[in-house]
Structure 1
Amino acid sequence: PVKQLELNAALDKFQSLGAEGSNKETVLRLEQIEQLLQLHKTRYKSRFITRIGDQIKQIDITEVAYFKAEDNEVLLVTENNKRYFINHALDQLAEMIDPSIFFRANRSYLVHISSIKKISKYFNSRLHLELEPVTREPVLISRVKVTEFLNWIDK
């Protein structure tokens, strides 16, 4: 995987040093780099499947409000408050889904940015999230993750 910041730094350095040869060769090199980037572009999961009895249901990632770890199982909760068990751990899910729209709030929750309805300060420099659909217990951002969360939400 290629990190965008590292790529931008490399391209800036390449341009500042000046490419040997003509501008035409430079343009060709840049086009080749762009083509390679398209090949290595991270592809995130766009849907999940779950079993309901003997049926298989497909759920689009755009319908997901949050993922919740509960009793050694993971629940996928949709915007309509429908709950489905899925066969992935939260750690696996965090790698499979787009980090620009999902955030690992704590050990139990991976939340979609649009499911966050309210953010409040909480004891010990933590944050409390109110999600939609409503959760049974408070969803807290630890003191250690507050800065990371605020940077994520501010993108």
Structure 2
Amino acid sequence: MSIKVLIVEDESLAAQKLMRQLGDIIPPIEVAGWVPSVREATAFLQQQAVDLIFLDIQLQDGLSFQLFEKIDLATPVIFTTAYDEYAIQAFRVNSIDYLLKPFTLVDVQQAVDKFQRFHQTAAPRPDYQALARLLAQQAPPAWRERFMVTVGERIQSVPVAETAYLFAAQKYVFLVRKDGSQHIVDFTLDDLEQQLNPADFFRINRKYLIQRAAIQDMVQWTKGRVKITLAPNPGEDTIVSVGRSADFRKWLGR
């Protein structure tokens, strides 16, 4: 008999990779659905029952722990997370399983094996809300730490630290790495402005969200604006908009 699972993950490439991994393990897995947000996960689970949930920590509309505040969730959960070792210890203490990104097929198989043992022995339900409180005490704000991107036919994990800037063009958002390579990402700049650490990233205009370390030079421009030289060179002028120039100067001084 197959195990019916829900994947709650805001990056489509990461979700697709997990689906492929679930298709390669034993016992058979039926993926009942994939949703990218707390709101959609809440709606799904109010309509359908599943045996197991793979739950990312950081979603489009906030931390996934909000899900436990919205519904009384008795379904076992395997968290997929990029949290540091202190927070991972909190998972262990609370007997909650997790997959530390980036994870392998072997990791997924071991997590499902653990779920089966949990299910067969009727182990006590973990206190998810206690875990959420503990993580809030231990961990800094859960800013995005990596992106899943495609390189040819391969899926690659790109740390945010390698990002120089992101820009919008032709209905897509492109991530530009420090080495000059570019990748399409599955988010709008509005989404990313909320997900990336504001100590490091600033939205200079409607088109560009830049990393502080990518700024090579700046000059005063017309109407109180600032013209920036970025590395790698985007091949066009990058100018802080009038409405953002004052906040940009404050950000630089922090």
TM bucket (normalised to shorter chain) is 0.7 to 0.9
Matched, 1:149 2:214: no
1:133 aligns with 2:229: no
- Same amino acid, percent of matched pairs: 26
How does 1:32-47 map onto structure 2 within 5 Å? Answer: 38=137, 41-47=140-146
Residues 1:77 and 2:176 aligned together: yes
Give the Cα separation in 1 of the matches to 2:203 and 2:211. 9
Structure 1 equivalent of residue 222 of structure 2: 123
How far did 1:53 drift? 3.6
SS in 1 for 2:213: helix
**Separation in 2 of the partners of 1:36 and 1:134?**
39
Q: Secondary structure at the match of 1:81?
A: coil
Q: Does 1:63 align with 2:166?
A: no
Shift of 1:52: 2.7
Q: Where does structure 2 lack aligned partners over 5 or more consecutive residues?
A: 1-61, 63-133
Q: Deviations over 1:37-80 (max 9, x none)?
A: 52674210110011234310111111000001011001100010
Structure-2 change in CA distance of 1:143 and 1:63 (3 Å): same
Partners of 1:53 and 1:36 lie apart in 2 by 37
RMSD (CA atoms): 2.0
Instruction: Describe the SS at the equivalent of 1:44.
Output: coil
If the length of structure 2 is used for normalisation, what is the TM-score?
A: 0.46
Is the deviation greater in 44-53 or in 105-114? 44-53
Pairing partner for 2:203 from 91, 104, 127? 104
- 2:148 is aligned with 1:49: yes
After TM superposition, what 4+ stretches of structure 1 lie above 3 angstroms from structure 2?
none
User: Which letter maps to 1:42?
Assistant: P
CA offsets, 1:72-101, max 9 Å, x none?
A: 001100010010111111000111110000
- After TM superposition, the score normalised by the length of structure 1 is 0.74
CA gap 1:36/1:83 in 2 versus in 1, 3 angstroms: closer
Aligned residue identity for 2:207: S
